[in-house]
Amino acid sequence: MEPADFYTGIVAESYAPLRSLDPDPEVHAAFIREVGGPALELGCGDGDPLLDLRRRGLDVEGVDSSADMLARCRRRADDAGVTVTLHHQRMEALDLPRRFRAIFLAGPTFNLLPDDDAAGAALEGIRRHLVDGGSALIPLHIPAPTPADRIGATRTATAADGARLRFTLVSEERNEAERTQISLLRYERHDRHEHHAQDASAVVERPWLLHWYTRDGFRALVAAAGLTTVSVTDSDGNPARDDADSTVFRLRADHHTPRPPTR
């Protein structure tokens, strides 16, 4: 399975019920109001904050690599009576008919790209899809190793239809040289009436890869893609401390600026 296909099947179904943190739509609404639309959310998943932004009347479209997450997003949009344009694509192979003033990710989904080459391709795609002077917001995270006593720990939640969902971090492997952490995650769904139904339970185990960047390393990838780093902030918008493990890169596309020579 490719990393971009991680969020499918019961993983897609478990995403909203198990989510620990809701993205704050106001941050992204303010960004779009400041730089103008149209806007594009990469890795929009099942629609947070995309659908809230659409409800506010903002011109924003979504891209995601998971058909299952997009199907959930479409259903939620229909239920809420909002229209939304969604594209089933990988952000490292972005090819859309429109150009945008604002492109953003609402969480550190860029860390799901498996290596620097994929990140470089995604940054190139962002540049190609921004109008001249357009802006991008990319949150990045450097994961900490999970404490040993949390390996094997299970979280539970209830699905929309009442089924029990279980999520377990089975193991974790870290490679500092490659800047990757691969966790083996187990997702389980147990129907409340499993003795009555067939196929009532499902269990999948999937490797979840995170790839992180040094601050200077990401600046170099941004420059190589022909984009300018405007600022690196913390999640409150203040300049990021050198040791911050969560940052937001704000980028700009200046199409008339000569690109650095390729190595």
Ligand X SMILES: C[S@@+](CC[C@H](N)C(=O)[O-])C[C@H]1O[C@@H](n2cnc3c(N)ncnc32)[C@H](O)[C@@H]1O
Residues that bind ligand X (CB under 6 A): 4, 7, 23, 43-46, 48, 63-66, 69, 90-92, 106-107, 109, 112-113
Alpha-carbon distance 50 to 131, whole Å?
21
Nearer to ligand X, 122 or 191 (CB): 122
- C-alpha distances in angstroms, 11 versus 73, 103, 113? 14, 26, 18
Identify residue 163 by its one-letter amino acid code: A
| Tokens 């960004």 found at | 31
Is the CB of 210 or the CB of 222 nearer to ligand X? 210
- Cβ atoms of 60 and 39 within 8 Å: the answer is yes
Spatial contact of 141 and 212, defined as CB atoms under 8 Å apart: yes
| 46, 69 contact by CB (below 8 A) | yes
Q: Least distance to ligand X from the beta carbon of 115, Å?
A: 12
Give residue 85's identity as a one-letter amino acid code: T
The separation between CA 143 and the C-alpha centre of its own chain, rounded to angstroms, equals: 15
> CB 180 → ligand X: shortest distance, Å?
15
| Nearest-approach distance from CB 150 to ligand X, in angstroms | 19
Q: Which is nearer to ligand X, 141 or 166 (CB)?
A: 141
In sequence order, what E strands does 201-262 have? Answer: 201-211, 227-233, 246-253
| Contact (CB, 8 A) for 89 and 63 | yes
Q: What is the C-alpha to C-alpha distance for residues 212 and 116, in angstroms, rounded to an integer?
A: 9
Q: How far is the CB of 24 from ligand X (least distance, A)?
A: 11
CB of 50 to ligand X, least distance (A): 7
Nearest Cα to 35, choosing from 115, 117, 111, 102? 102
Least distance (Å) between residue 11 CB and ligand X: 9
Q: Which residue is nearest to ligand X (CB)?
A: 45
Nearer residue to ligand X within complex by CB, 62 or 191: 62
> Pick from 100, 112, 172: which is nearest to 139 by CA?
112
Q: Work out how close the CB of 107 gets to ligand X at its nearest, in angstroms, rounded to a whole number.
A: 5
For ligand X, the closer of residues 109 and 168 by Cβ is 109
**Between residues 28 and 189, which has the closer beta carbon with respect to ligand X?**
28
Give whichever of 49 and 191 is closer to ligand X, judged by the CB atom. Answer: 49
The bridge status of strand 39-42 relative to strand 154-158 is: unpaired
